[in-house]
Structure 1
Amino acid sequence: MSLFKSASIVSGLTLVSRITGLMRELLIASTFGASALTDAFNVAFRIPNLFRRLFAEGAFSQAFVPVLAASRQQHGDEATHVLVNQVATLLIWALLLTSVLGVAGAPLLVWAMASGLKQSPEGFEVAVVMTRFMFPYIAFMSLVALAAGVLNTWKRFAVPAATPVLLNVAMIAAAWWGGPWFGTLGVPPIYALAVGVMLGGVAQLSVQLLALRRLGMLPRVGLSWRAVREAWGAEGPKRILQLMAPALLGVSVAQISLLINTQIASQLAPGSVSWLSYADRLMEFPTALLGVALGVVLMPQLSAAKAANDTAKYSDMLDWGLRLVVVLALPCALALLVFSKALVAVLYNYGAFSAHDVQQTTLALMGYGVGLLGLVAVKVLAPGFYASQDIRTPVRIAVAVLVITQLFNVALVPFLAHAGLALSIGLGALVNAAWLLWGLRKNGTYVMSAGWTRFVLQVLVACAVLGAWLCWSAQYWDWTALHATPLLRVGLMTGVLAVSALLYFATLTITGLKLRALLRR
Structure 2
Amino acid sequence: MATEHPSHEPGKKVPKASGLLRSSGVVGVMTMLSRVLGLIRDMVIARYFGAGAGADAFFVAFKIPNFLRRLFAEGAFSQAFVPVLSSYRTTESLSDVRRLVNAVAGTLGLVLLGITLIAILGAPAITTVFAPGFTDDAEKFAMATDMLRITFPYLLLISLTAFAGAILNSYDRFAIPAFTPVLLNLAMIAAAIFLSPMMQEPIMALAWGVLIAGALQLFFQLPFLMRLGLLPRPRVDYQHEGVRRVLRLMMPALFGVSVSQINLLLDTVLASFLQTGSVSWLYYSDRLSELPLGVFGVAIGTVILPNLSRKHAAESPEHFAKTVDWAIRAILLIGAPAAIALALLAEPLIATLFHYGEVVERDVIMSAQSLRAYSAGLLAFMLIKVLAPGFFARQDTRTPVRIGIIAMVANMAFNLALIFPLAHAGLALATSLSAWLNAMLLWRGLKKEGAWRRQKHWLRFLLQLGVANGALVAIIIWLKSPVDAWFTMTGLQRTQEMTVLVASGVAVYFVMLVASGIRLRHFRLN
TMscore range, shorter length: over 0.9
Corresponding residue of 1:489 = 494
Deviates more, 1:56-65 or 1:158-167: 56-65
| Aligned: 1:467 with 2:484 | no
| Aligned: 1:68 with 2:67 | no
Deviation at 1:516, TM superposition (A): 3.8
Corresponding residue of 2:4 = none
Task: Find 2:377's aligned residue among 350, 354, 371.
Answer: 371
| Aligned: 1:503 with 2:508 | yes
| Aligned-partner Cα distance in 2 for 1:495–1:247 | 43
Deviation at 1:511, TM superposition (A): 1.6
| Aligned-partner Cα distance in 1 for 2:238–2:349 | 50
Deviates more, 1:48-57 or 1:11-20: 48-57
- Provide the alpha-carbon RMSD of the alignment: 1.3
Deviates more, 1:257-266 or 1:471-480: 471-480
Task: Find 2:287's aligned residue among 281, 286, 298.
Answer: 281
Deviation at 1:95, TM superposition (A): 1.5
Task: Find 2:71's aligned residue among 48, 51, 54.
Answer: 54
8 Å CA contact 1:70–1:304 kept in 2: the answer is yes
Structure 2: which 5+ residue stretches go unaligned?
A: 1-17
What are the within-5 Å matches in structure 2 for residues 189-208 of structure 1?
189-208=202-221
SS at match of 1:233: coil
Task: Find 1:11's aligned residue among 15, 18, 28.
Answer: 28
| Aligned-partner Cα distance in 2 for 1:517–1:250 | 31
Structure 2 residue identity aligned to 1:117: F
8 Å CA contact 1:53–1:251 kept in 2: the answer is no
Corresponding residue of 1:442 = 448
| Aligned-partner Cα distance in 1 for 2:258–2:328 | 25
Distance 1:85 1:204, change over 3 A: same
Structure 1 residue identity aligned to 2:322: D
Corresponding residue of 1:298 = 304
Deviation at 1:255, TM superposition (A): 4.7
SS at match of 1:29: helix
SS at match of 1:417: helix
What are the within-5 Å matches in structure 2 for residues 18-37 of structure 1?
18-37=35-54
Q: TM-score, normalised by structure 1?
A: 0.95
| Aligned: 1:406 with 2:417 | no
Deviation at 1:4, TM superposition (A): 0.7
Q: Percent identity?
A: 45
| Aligned: 1:393 with 2:406 | no
Structure 1 residue identity aligned to 2:169: N
Deviates more, 1:428-437 or 1:391-400: 428-437
| Aligned: 1:137 with 2:146 | no
Deviation at 1:475, TM superposition (A): 4.1
Corresponding residue of 1:225 = none
SS at match of 2:396: coil
8 Å CA contact 2:383–2:439 kept in 1: the answer is yes
Corresponding residue of 2:111 = 94
Structure 2 residue identity aligned to 1:492: E
Structure 2 residue identity aligned to 1:374: A
8 Å CA contact 1:70–1:303 kept in 2: the answer is yes
Structure 1 residue identity aligned to 2:501: V
| Aligned: 1:215 with 2:215 | no
8 Å CA contact 2:19–2:524 kept in 1: the answer is no
8 Å CA contact 1:17–1:164 kept in 2: the answer is yes
8 Å CA contact 2:222–2:231 kept in 1: the answer is yes
Corresponding residue of 2:268 = 262
Deviation at 1:487, TM superposition (A): 0.9
Deviates more, 1:466-475 or 1:160-169: 466-475
- How many residues align? The count is 509
Deviation at 1:476, TM superposition (A): 4.7
SS at match of 1:232: coil
| Aligned: 1:124 with 2:124 | no
Structure 1 residue identity aligned to 2:225: L
| Aligned-partner Cα distance in 1 for 2:286–2:261 | 15
| Aligned-partner Cα distance in 2 for 1:518–1:252 | 28
8 Å CA contact 2:260–2:435 kept in 1: the answer is no
Deviation at 1:121, TM superposition (A): 1.3
Corresponding residue of 2:9 = none
8 Å CA contact 1:339–1:471 kept in 2: the answer is no
8 Å CA contact 1:342–1:479 kept in 2: the answer is no
Task: Find 2:518's aligned residue among 504, 513, 516.
Answer: 513
Distance 1:461 1:255, change over 3 A: closer
Corresponding residue of 2:10 = none
Deviates more, 1:266-275 or 1:90-99: 90-99
| Aligned: 1:246 with 2:244 | no
Deviates more, 1:301-310 or 1:113-122: 113-122
Q: Deviations over 1:59-94 (max 9, x none)?
A: 211111100000110103221111000111111111
Structure 2 residue identity aligned to 1:474: K
| Aligned-partner Cα distance in 2 for 1:192–1:110 | 19
